[in-house]
Amino acid sequence: MTRTEDDDELVQAVRDGDCEAYGELFARHEAVARRVAVRSGRAGEADDVVAEVFAGVLLQIRAGRGPTESFRAYLLTGVRHEAGRRAASARRCEPVAEVERWTPDVTPDVDVDGHLREAYATLPARWRRTLWQLEVEGRRPHELAVELGLTANAVSALGYRARVALRAAYLERSRAA
């Protein structure tokens, strides 16, 4: 059933915990968001761009941030930015046909994986979780911020400190070997 509230009322309903309200916002704006994504970036990634932006906006709203009015404009701005970011990233990538040409034939004498595992294990649990989410899972600081109860900048700083500590612990183990 189609809801009759305007977008601003639906956003407030989402803030109040009504998940179905966000479904209505999605139904209203998904098609135009997809068209903007196709025009703003690479057509093959339009679905991914739209899904990521809708998910990000939902997280923002649930966290008490995000749009308070003009949901559509807020959403489409996010779509343009994400599509542009992905297109720029794709332009920076240089495909390599022959990976072997770039891969050295030597095998390191040190146990890189073992040293890295040992160094990782020495980090505090919060740093390990942050590094795992950012580096392995590929999450962005603003996505992880809600779970950790921090701002995106604080998550970035936490990730930086964890990387520095991991690097130092790894170097310490490498030198000792």
pLDDT digits (tens, 9 = 90+) for 84-102: 888 877 666 666 665 555 5
Please give the pLDDT value at position 114: 81
Sole residue written with tokens 């139904």: 27
Share of the chain above pLDDT 90, in %: 60
Please give the pLDDT value at position 124: 94
Residues 22 and 85 occupy one common structural domain = yes
In the chain, what is the greatest distance between 2 CA atoms, to the nearest angstrom?
Answer: 68
2 within some domain: no
Number of structural domains found in the chain: 2
30 within some domain: yes
Residues 13 and 47 occupy one common structural domain = yes
* Domain span at 62: 7-92
User: Which of 28, 61, 92 is where one domain is finished?
Assistant: 92
Q: What is the pLDDT of residues 137-176, one digit of tens each?
A: 899 999 999 988 999 999 999 999 999 999 999 988 888 7
128 within some domain: yes
Residues 56 and 120 occupy one common structural domain = no
Candidate from 37-41, 74-78, 97-101 with smallest mean pLDDT: 97-101
Please give the pLDDT value at position 13: 94
Q: How far is CA 23 from CA 30, 40, 162, in A?
A: 10, 24, 37
Please give the pLDDT value at position 154: 93
Residues 11 and 85 occupy one common structural domain = yes
Please give the pLDDT value at position 88: 79
Confidence band for 55, pLDDT divided at 50, 70 and 90: very high
100 within some domain: no
Q: What is the mean pLDDT of the chain?
A: 87
User: Which of 92, 120, 146 is where one domain is finished?
Assistant: 92
101 within some domain: no
Of residues 78 and 42, the one with the higher pLDDT is 78
Residues 83 and 128 occupy one common structural domain = no
- What is the C-alpha separation between 47 and 169, in angstroms, rounded? 41
Instruction: Encode the chain in three state secondary structure.
Output: CCCCCCHHHHHHHHHCCCHHHHHHHHHHHHHHHHHHHHHHCCHHHHHHHHHHHHHHHHHHHHCCCCCCCCHHHHHHHHHHHHHHHHHHHHHHCCCCCCHHHHCCCCCCCCCHHHHHHHHHHHCCHHHHHHHHHHHHCCCCHHHHHHHHCCCHHHHHHHHHHHHHHHHHHHHHHHHHC
Residues 127 and 160 occupy one common structural domain = yes
Please give the pLDDT value at position 97: 61
- CATH number of the domain enclosing 165: 1.10.10.10
Residues 57 and 114 occupy one common structural domain = no
User: Which of 68, 92, 116 is where one domain is finished?
Assistant: 92
